[in-house]
Amino acid sequence: MSSKLVLVLNCGSSSLKFAILDAVNGDEYLSGLAECFHLPEARIKWKMDGSKQEAELGAGAAHSEALNFIVNTILAQKPELSAQLTAIGHRIVHGGEKYTSSVVIDESVIQGIKDAASFAPLHNPAHLIASLKR
């Protein structure tokens, strides 16, 4: 296993896709989907080491609860993955005219995402939840 692992997050309005990938060779160590946010049947599904698992997140759960589950439950099963994470990548729907390629997220980028929220009102707020969770 490489020491160049990246946690990739794609926050939608009612779901969150996630994966841990090797940045060098593209190997996938974890993939999953949390879905049905804000509904009684909110749940998370993931695949790690060839094994598929699923859990309920709790009625009304959303992005924060899913991120907490990923960190505190899924990654806790395999701490060596967390130990080798070197970056977190976020797929953000709209950065306005200012952000048209990959950038390191800092306070000015967060403000830019907030400013562009009107272009993607269902997605940018969800991206901000994940981006601000440290």
What gap in Å lies between CA 21 and CA 4, rounded to an integer?
8
Nearest to residue 73, comparing CAs of 41, 48, 40, 42? 48
* pLDDT at site 129: 59
Half-sphere exposure of 1 (CA within 13 A, CB side): 17
Local confidence band at 54 (pLDDT 50, 70, 90 cut-offs): very high
1 to 23, 75, 79, 95, 114: CA distances (angstroms): 11, 15, 13, 33, 37
Local confidence band at 134 (pLDDT 50, 70, 90 cut-offs): low
Query: Strand (E) positions, the chain?
Result: 5-11, 16-22, 28-35, 43-48, 51-56, 85-91
Count of other CB atoms within 10 angstroms of residue 77: 13
Read off the pLDDT of residues 3-30 as tens digits, 9 standing for 90 and up. Answer: 799 999 988 889 999 999 998 999 999 9
pLDDT over 80 at 49, yes or no: yes
* pLDDT at site 94: 56
* pLDDT at site 13: 83
Read off the pLDDT of residues 58-89 as tens digits, 9 standing for 90 and up. Answer: 999 999 999 999 999 999 999 999 999 998 87
* pLDDT at site 132: 54
pTM above 0.75, yes or no: yes
The domain covering 5-132 belongs, at the CATH homologous superfamily level, to ATPase, nucleotide binding domain (3.30.420.40)
| Residue 31 or residue 94, greater confidence | 31
For the chain, what is the mean pLDDT?
A: 84
Percent of the chain with pLDDT over 70: 78
